[in-house]
Chains A and B, each alone.
Chain A
Amino acid sequence: GNSVTQMEGPVTLSEEAFLTINCTYTATGYPSLFWYVQYPGEGLQLLLKATKADDKGSNKGFEATYRKETTSFHLEKGSVQVSDSAVYFCALQFSGGYNKLIFGAGTRLAVHP
C-alpha cells in the first residue's frame, strides 16, 4: 500500500547547524509530496511541496527534492534557528478524488542556542 516513512526523532541540533530529516515513500503511482510543520500549540502548516519528480520545493530556507529513483523527499536546511523547533511531517497525496493526505509519523526537531 501507499505509505511514508520518516526518520525517528527527536533530532537535537545547535543553532546554525545543518539539518536533514529523511523521508521515503512507497506509492503506486506518482503522488505529490509535502512537508508539513507543527509548531507548539498550533495546527499542521504546509511548509513546502513538490508535485512531480525532480521538483524542488523550498520555503523559509528549507528545501526538499522529489527523487523518484530513490522514492525520497528529504528535508534540508543549511542553518537552523531556535524558532525552527517543531514537529515535521512528510506526506503524500494523489491527485484526483478527494485527496487524502498520507503522513509519516513526524520528526521532532529541537534547536538549542
Chain B
Amino acid sequence: EPEVTQTPSHQVTQMGQEVILRCVPISNHLYFYWYRQILGQKVEFLVSFYNNEISEKSEIFDDQFSVERPDGSNFTLKIRSTKLEDSAMYFCASSERTSGRLSYNEQFFGPGTRLTVL
C-alpha cells in the first residue's frame, strides 16, 4: 500500500543552523501539507502546497520557513535559522484532491521527523 515517507526520523541541530526535512508523498497525490506538534501540544497546520506554490500558510510559517518540491517526488520543509522553539515533531501529509462542497479531503500522513534544536 502506498505511503508517505519522511526522513530523517530524528534530527538534532544547533540553534541558528539550517535544517531541511524531507518527505516523499504518495505518487499520484497533488496536494501537500506540513504540520507540526510541539511536545504535549496540538498538531498545528503550517502550510499547504499545490501546483508548485503555497496555497495556504499559518501564522507560524514565517520567513524562516520555506517549502519546495525540487523534483517529481520530494517535498521539503526548510527552516533557515532554527530556534529552540522549533523543536517539535513535523508531519508531512498528502492528498489526491481537495474536498468539494459535500465531500472531504483525506490526507495521508508520514511518520514524522522529530526535530530537536539545542
Chain A residues in contact with chain B, CB under 8 A?
Answer: 4, 32, 34, 36, 41-46, 49, 51, 89, 91, 93, 95-106
- Asked if residues A49 and B104 are in contact (CB atoms below 8 Å), the reply is yes
Residues of chain B within 8 A (CB-CB) of A44 are: 43, 91, 93, 109
Total residues of chain B contacting the partner, CB 8 A: 36
Chain B residues in contact with chain A, CB under 8 A?
Answer: 3-4, 6, 31, 33, 35, 37, 40-45, 48, 50, 55-56, 58, 91, 93, 95, 98-112
Residues of chain B within 8 A (CB-CB) of A98 are: 31, 48, 50, 55-56, 98
Can you report 5 residue pairs joining A to B where beta carbons are below 8 Å apart?
A43-B4, A44-B43, A96-B99, A99-B107, A104-B42
With A100-B48, A100-B56 as contacts: A95 and B100 at CB distance below 8 Å:
yes
Q: Complex Cα distance A57/B31, Å?
A: 25
- Asked if residues A105 and B41 are in contact (CB atoms below 8 Å), the reply is yes
Residues of chain A within 8 A (CB-CB) of B91 are: 43-44
